[in-house]
A = this chain, B = another copy of it.
Amino acid sequence: MGDHTSNGSANGNGHGVPTSTLSTTPFPASRKIYVSGQQPGVRVPMREISLTPTKSMNGTVTPNEPITVYDTSGPYTDPAVSIDVRAGLPPLRRQWVLDRQDVDELPSVTSAYGRMRAADPKLAELRFQHIRKPLRAKPGRNVTQLHYARKGIITPEMEFIAIRENQSREVARELASRNGHGGGTAQHPGFSWGAAIPAAITPEFVRDEVARGRAIIPSNINHPESEPMIIGRNFLVKINANIGNSAVASSIEEEVEKMIWSIRWGSDTVMDLSTGKNIHETREWIIRNAPVPIGTVPIYQALEKVGGKAEELTWEIFRDTLIEQAEQGVDYFTIHAGVKLAYVPMTAKRMTGIVSRGGSIHAKWCLAHHQENFAYTHFEEICEIMKAYDVAFSLGDGLRPGSIADANDEAQFAELETLGELTKIAWRHDVQVMIEGPGHVPMHMIQVNMEKQLKACHEAPFYTLGPLTTDIAPGYDHITSGIGAAMIGWYGCAMLCYVTPKEHLGLPDREDVKAGVIAYKIAAHAADLAKGHPGAQIRDNALSKARFEFRWEDQFHLSLDPETAKQFHDATLPDNAAKVSHFCSMCGPHFCSMKITQDVRDYAAQKHLDEQQAIQIGMKEKAEEFKKAGSEIYR
């Protein structure tokens, strides 16, 4: 998302994060497990949270089976993997790419800029030391997952994703029914607004959704370190976090740690929106260490190359930048090809004009030259580049509204129609496409965005920034936008671009990034629950059961942020005994509704009456009393 406020991330800890301080601590009570597939090398990481047994008041002890959750954190949280950011992550997907025998290893990078940077001795200190030679499709070949899908090929990436999306929920169901409590996997049916979510995700289903264009697998052949993931309406709702250095400050190692930090808390993809110096080298470090797909907005770097003067941009510079980034391994590009010259004046009367940086760069260029947007006129050439590396389009919403007042206006929807046209062109090239969306939209105007996008863009996945549901709370825009994000996720949006509390105000620090990611994990999960995504409720059920049974530690471990949950609990009752005692810190020993509920159940049991009987007797007595009193006022 080319959002104007998320391009940088200031790290409060000053410059230079040594490798030893990377966020690699596993989550409490959790271990990394791997589920293997049929195809070689398909080994899907998940996080297993172990739980303590339930101890009932009559002394019986019932085990609680571990819960498996989706894990975006990559090898960083696996103590068995030794991490060295200077070496990068193991290239998990490289053999799959090579096995398809449709790529060439190039002797050196193709882009003029990439060559210049590689030849500059002053950059030696900054440069990643183990740069692989880039891969590119053999002449006439197409290496996109969409291309394979349409040919009926189930790639290892697709099988990986099927296993990952299922999150072993069949195992959870089986264990639950074996233990007799069953309820743990029960869930509400959901209402999915016409999505087509199957009970179990098969590799063939993944293939089919990709082939239809309803889902994308961002997976540049030059980013073999990434663990395959999918973005589509019929899969779990995903989130993206933006990081990046800016003109102001930031070291390369800080950038890597920011990425690790974002995925630790659950970001499914990361966009590198750097705008400062050494963008090229920073990006290399990030990609080599990223187990999630990386997105960029190439026009930002292109603009840097012309000293920030939009009117001096050329197609050639933009093209060189696309190739430069594609050969580094960027998995998706935000390209604002829908900002057509004719739409620019539609924004002149807006409350907040054009707020997308990418959008305004293209708009300025169009006006300066009185020419159509070069990303639009050269769109087929861009497709040629994308398909040679499998870079997916994230078609940018350069004219998205920047205020409630501007929501759903003519400019926004005109651009959306054009994005639909471009989607068809990209699909003709078998290039994967998702569509970016707003922005600032009041609640009642959110759904029409989803509906129009599905229609105009032929069900290509939607990827929105929030939307923010009010403008009046700068400092809290993770909340104003978390509301809109949850809703549009429910309506069918496939990925939610986070907004941090610093949105509109400044550069997010670590705590802001975490606050943004967690708010968006909440939004995405709330959407999965509402859509009735199979298995989505397992974690809610496990946590609520732990809560009801006063298994405090389990409650912490099952939460999105165990540290904060524990810390908040301990702020009131730090005593360790409180975490195992049968009352909670809020109510004290004599006054807890959960305890009373337990008493209600126990009471009935003691009387050797099932509760239904107890009530029937109660009602009979009551009825007689009423009759005696001649009172019928309550009926």
The answer on a CB contact under 8 Å between A379 and B548 is no
A508 to B172, CA, bound (A): 35
- Give residues 452-476 of A contacting B (CB, 8 Å): 469-476
Query: Can you list, as one digit per residue, whether each of A405-436 has a CB less than 8 Å from chain B (1) or not (0)?
Result: 10100000000000001000100000000000
Q: Which stretch from A103-111, A211-219, A585-593 is at the chain B interface? A: A585-593
The answer on a CB contact under 8 Å between A522 and B471 is no
| CB of A35 within 8 Å of the partner chain | no
Q: A405-B183, A442-B526, A475-B565 are in contact. Are A360 and B614 (CB under 8 A)?
A: no
Contacts of A601 in B (CB 8 A): 348, 353
Chain B residue at minimum C-beta to C-beta distance from A5? B586
The answer on a CB contact under 8 Å between A421 and B472 is no
Q: A341-B619, A344-B615, A565-B505 are in contact. Are A443 and B490 (CB under 8 A)?
A: yes
Q: A474-B565, A540-B404, A586-B8 are in contact. Are A604 and B367 (CB under 8 A)?
A: yes
Give the Cβ gap from A260 to chain B, nearest Cβ, in Å. 21
| CB of A496 within 8 Å of the partner chain | no
Q: Which stretch from A80-88, A287-295, A370-378 is at the chain B interface? A: A370-378
A377 to B634, CA, bound (A): 7
| CB of A37 within 8 Å of the partner chain | no
The answer on a CB contact under 8 Å between A476 and B560 is yes
Chain B residue at minimum C-beta to C-beta distance from A425? B633
The answer on a CB contact under 8 Å between A248 and B588 is yes
SS class of chain A's interface: helix, strand, loop or mixed?
helix
| CB of A530 within 8 Å of the partner chain | yes
Give the Cβ gap from A531 to chain B, nearest Cβ, in Å. 8
| CB of A596 within 8 Å of the partner chain | yes
Q: A529-B404, A596-B364 are in contact. Are A544 and B471 (CB under 8 A)?
A: yes
| CB of A98 within 8 Å of the partner chain | no
Q: A469-B529, A530-B443, A621-B371 are in contact. Are A363 and B474 (CB under 8 A)?
A: no
| CB of A303 within 8 Å of the partner chain | yes
The answer on a CB contact under 8 Å between B483 and A634 is no
The answer on a CB contact under 8 Å between B537 and A352 is no
Contacts of A359 in B (CB 8 A): 593
| CB of A571 within 8 Å of the partner chain | yes
The answer on a CB contact under 8 Å between B475 and A600 is no
| CB of A65 within 8 Å of the partner chain | no
Partner of A474, one of B470, B490, B555, B617: B555
A303 to B248, CA, bound (A): 60
Query: Can you list, as one digit per residue, whether each of A235-256 has a CB less than 8 Å from chain B (1) or not (0)?
Result: 0000000000011100000000
The answer on a CB contact under 8 Å between B586 and A7 is yes
The answer on a CB contact under 8 Å between B530 and A444 is yes
The answer on a CB contact under 8 Å between B597 and A483 is no
Chain B residue at minimum C-beta to C-beta distance from A369? B618
Q: Which stretch from A115-123, A137-145, A184-192 is at the chain B interface? A: A184-192
The answer on a CB contact under 8 Å between A186 and B544 is no
| CB of A174 within 8 Å of the partner chain | no
The answer on a CB contact under 8 Å between A354 and B518 is no
| CB of A581 within 8 Å of the partner chain | no
| CB of A445 within 8 Å of the partner chain | yes
The answer on a CB contact under 8 Å between A507 and B621 is no
- Since A377-B634, A404-B544, A474-B556 are in contact, a sample of 20 more A-B pairs with Cβ atoms closer than 8 Å, ordered by chain A residue number, is A4-B587, A188-B445, A275-B587, A308-B591, A352-B597, A353-B598, A354-B600, A357-B591, A360-B593, A360-B600, A361-B593, A364-B599, A444-B532, A469-B529, A473-B561, A475-B559, A475-B560, A479-B482, A505-B569, A506-B586
CB-based closest 7 A-B pairs: A506-B572, A353-B597, A308-B590, A403-B544, A345-B611, A360-B596, A443-B530
A residues sitting closer than 8 Å to B (CB atoms) are 4-8, 10, 183, 186-188, 190-191, 246-248, 275, 303, 307-308, 310, 341-342, 344-345, 347-348, 351-357, 359-361, 363-364, 366-368, 370-372, 376-377, 379-380, 402-405, 407, 421, 425, 440, 442-445, 469-476, 478-480, 482-483, 486-487, 490, 501-502, 504-507, 509, 518-519, 521-523, 525-527, 529-532, 537, 539-541, 543-545, 547-548, 555-556, 558-561, 564-565, 567-573, 584-588, 590-594, 596-601, 603-604, 611-612, 614-615, 617-619, 621-622, 633-634
